[in-house]
Amino acid sequence: MSAPTEAAPRKLWGGRFSGKTDPLMEKFNASISFDSRFYKADVVGSQAYAKALARKHILTDAEAAKIHEGLDQVLAEWESSSFVLKDGDEDIHTANERRLGEIIGTAISGKLHTGRSRNDQVATDFRIWVRDESQKLITVLKELIGTAVVRAESEIDIIMPGYTHLQRAQPIRWSHLVLSHAWKWHADCLRLEQLLKRMNQLPLGSGALAGNPFGIDRDFLAKELGFDSIIPNSLYGVSDRDFVAEFLFWASLTMVHISCLAEDLIVYSTGEFGFIQVADAYSTGSSLMPQKKNPDSLELLRGKSGRVFGDMTGFMMTYKGTPSTYNKDLQEDKEPVFDAYDTVLGSLQITTGVLATLRVNRDKMLASLSIDMLATDLAEYLVRKGVPFRDTHHIAGEAVRIAEERRCTMADLKLEDFKKLHSAFEEDVVKVWNYEQSIENRNTPGGTSRATVLAQIESLKAFLQ
């Protein structure tokens, strides 16, 4: 049902002004090009507000029902991509209210904004959007963790060098490395859930800044819109964007974690390492060199972390200078969040694909192990014989030096050579030169032994379930 043709739409704020706005200023001021993403949050927020107005008899039940039905049509038009924007739709609130008036008439739709400001309206829409859309991020994060768990469980027998300072350090399980990244994503998931819990407070009912004059039941609104509580101060309610800062920090840190995995895999995919090969679906070639296979997916993931970090720092520079309550500077809060959200969501999906499809070269990993990586195990051998670790560390270092001077490995040294370093050495020292045993010795929770890696897998499975 359509109402009779209305006069040209009036600006929500236009009564004070008689002169025309510079067309450039119209464009500069408008946010509809990006805040239209709030269309659903704006509709459900307005439907709840109509109910609250009816409870205070500002709307009749019939009027509230008509507004609700009209907004359902507005939402359907957005969902079907048939919503038509018009001149004067400077933001999502203006556009939805204008369209609602066209559907049910302005005599009723004009009552919807009673006691409400775009200041508390946009703050509410934004929180709803971040809260609801973040569930997709949590879902994709868990899919990535699940991919890591499957990979770790199926490839638990693959042994590789572990590195510090990009220098070979000690032997570890490939699964242990994969799970080290999974635990970062686990922390990212928990951190986002905690952020959403912390931000789930309702600004609606704060008015422009001083509060609502019609006794609107804010607790009712909070329940209707899925908020845990109301923001207790109206000035704070319209100005707070800490949740934006926290979300952008979360996005930046999550991208750092993605970038760290990307860097590992880029290094391990080089010809010098050859530990892994990225699937063709996530690689490209060279326009000049036919032999090249470039891990472009990983390089893009690494690069996009800087983009998201820029979103955060740019917003913080805007946020730091705003006086109390709402200021138009805060219109700059949305695009960084949208960009960060889109980038993180896509990056998590690409990372999942890369991790699920890469090929591991177990033989190359095993061949990269070297006896000098067992120098710590040699020191630990003496500890088990009762020698203080500070002494055994020095003795093991001497053994490394002797082997280097003779251009052989420590495994090539004779028992007599070890006896000269310390009398506690016995014939069983040869058992030290076993990579698998070195790994199995790291059996304290959190270590790289089979049992402790399996325990990590079960813990992450429990989290995902």
Residues 114, 119, 123: CA angle, nearest 5 degrees: 115
Are 350 and 141 in contact, with CB atoms under 8 Å apart? no
Tokens found for residue 95: 């556009």
CA nearest to 91, candidates 22, 24, 37, 18? 37
Residues 225, 335, 94: CA angle, nearest 5 degrees: 55
In angstroms, the CA 187 to CA 182 distance is 9
7: number of Cβ within 10 Å: 6
- 385 Rama sector, left if φ>0, alpha if ψ -120 to 50, beta otherwise: alpha
In angstroms, the CA 336 to CA 340 distance is 6
Are 331 and 124 in contact, with CB atoms under 8 Å apart? no
Tokens found for residue 296: 């472009």
In angstroms, the CA 340 to CA 304 distance is 9
Strands 276-277 and 359-360: antiparallel
Given the residues 2, 57, 82, 165, select the one marked as catalytic. Answer: 165
In angstroms, the CA 305 to CA 346 distance is 12
Q: Is position 165 annotated as part of the catalytic site? A: yes
Are 333 and 251 in contact, with CB atoms under 8 Å apart? no
154: number of Cβ within 10 Å: 10
CA nearest to 121, candidates 326, 282, 309? 326
Amino acid at 203: P
Q: How many residues does the chain have?
A: 465
Given the residues 154, 286, 324, 423, select the one marked as catalytic. Answer: 286
Are 431 and 440 in contact, with CB atoms under 8 Å apart? no
Are 234 and 209 in contact, with CB atoms under 8 Å apart? yes
φ, ψ at 66 (rounded to 5°):
-65, -40
Are 312 and 252 in contact, with CB atoms under 8 Å apart? yes
**Active site amino acids:** 165, 286
